[in-house]
Structure 1
Amino acid sequence: MMDKALFIGVEHIGIKALDLEKAIQFYTKTLGFKFLYRIKPGEVELVFLELGGTVVELVEVIDGRRFEDGVVNHLAIRVSDIFKAIEHLKVQQVELTSSEPMALGEGRYNFFFRGPSGEKLELYQV
């Protein structure tokens, strides 16, 4: 039986951005999103924006890797304990695309896996 408090909400929706600065301007100036923060935990820069309680993560496109996972790149699910959530996924025999959670700094972690149709999903712990 799954612990209902383990999966606690949608964290964000990741969207690929061919031109990150242009995308930031579009979402903030044209659509009224609030700029939250930007980080570069690896080779790709990420920008987080919010509108009406929904967070969108703009994912920088580099090296011609345009849309291998689609324009809407992933759905991130907020979890209370990422290690327990990963164990739950393993028990359910879910396809894991990461081997360990990645530390993003400031106590944040993420972990990627696939849904039943191959969709890219992310666990996110604050």
Structure 2
Amino acid sequence: MENKSLFTGVEHIGIKALEMEKAIRFYTEVLGFKFLNRIKPGEVELVFLELGGTVVELVEVVNGQKFEDGVVNHLAIRVSDIMKAIDHLKDHQVELTASEPMSIGEGRYNFFFRGPSGERLELYQV
């Protein structure tokens, strides 16, 4: 089964943050998450935290766009080849929200799509 080597694990879970500094303090000081990094690849700031091998991506809320996709914004799935993974999704008539993957720097790419209940999912290639 080719899919087993294509989809390699959960990369991270994205959670909306109304107040980024407050959210960082909560996850690190109250829950014991380790701060990994902070980036702003576009208009939205992202902060990555880790606990026990699970990564949470805090997604900055901008322009009042609170929870159009829910508080848990997305689940990112790590892939070995993002183009093959996109083709796989197309072969299965999955709802795609973009036509091409986006470069997010340092050789990383992502691509968003929808699950069967409208949930927001992401392919993530390192």
Match of 2:120 in 1: 120
Structure 1: state its 5+ residue gaps. Answer: none
* Residues 26-65 of structure 1 aligned to structure 2 (within 5 Å): 26-65=26-65
Q: Distance between the aligned counterparts of 2:3 and 2:56, measured in 1?
A: 27
Which residue identity lines up with residue 59 of structure 1 in the other structure? V
Residues of 2 paired with 1:119 and 1:2: CA distance? Answer: 24
Report matched runs for 1:70-85 at 5 Å: 70-85=70-85
Q: By how many angstroms is 1:98 displaced?
A: 1.3
1:3 CA displacement? 2.9
Task: Provide Cα deviations, 1:23-48, integer angstroms capped at 9, x if missing partner.
Answer: 00100011000000011111100000
Q: Which amino acid aligns with 1:119?
A: E
Question: Which residue of structure 2 aligns with residue 6 of structure 1?
Answer: 6
Structure 2: distance between partners of 1:107 and 1:91: 26
Q: Which runs of 4+ in 1 moved over 4 A?
A: none
For residue 2 of structure 1, report the CA deviation from its aligned partner.
4.3
Which residue of 1 is the match for residue 17 of structure 2? 17
- Alpha-carbon separation, structure 1, partners of 2:88 and 2:56: 26
Q: Residue 2 of structure 1 contacts residue 88 of structure 1 at CA under 8 Å; is this kept in 2?
A: no
Instruction: For residue 99 of structure 1, give the secondary structure of its aligned residue in structure 2.
Output: coil
CA RMSD of aligned residues (A): 0.8
Structure 1 length normalisation: TM-score?
0.98
Q: Which residue of 2 aligns with 1:95?
A: 95
Letter in structure 1 aligned against 2:93: Q
Figure out how many residues of one structure are paired with residues of the other and give that number: 126
Does the Cα contact within 8 Å between 1:103 and 1:110 map onto a contact in 2? yes
What runs of 5+ residues in structure 2 fail to find an aligned partner? none
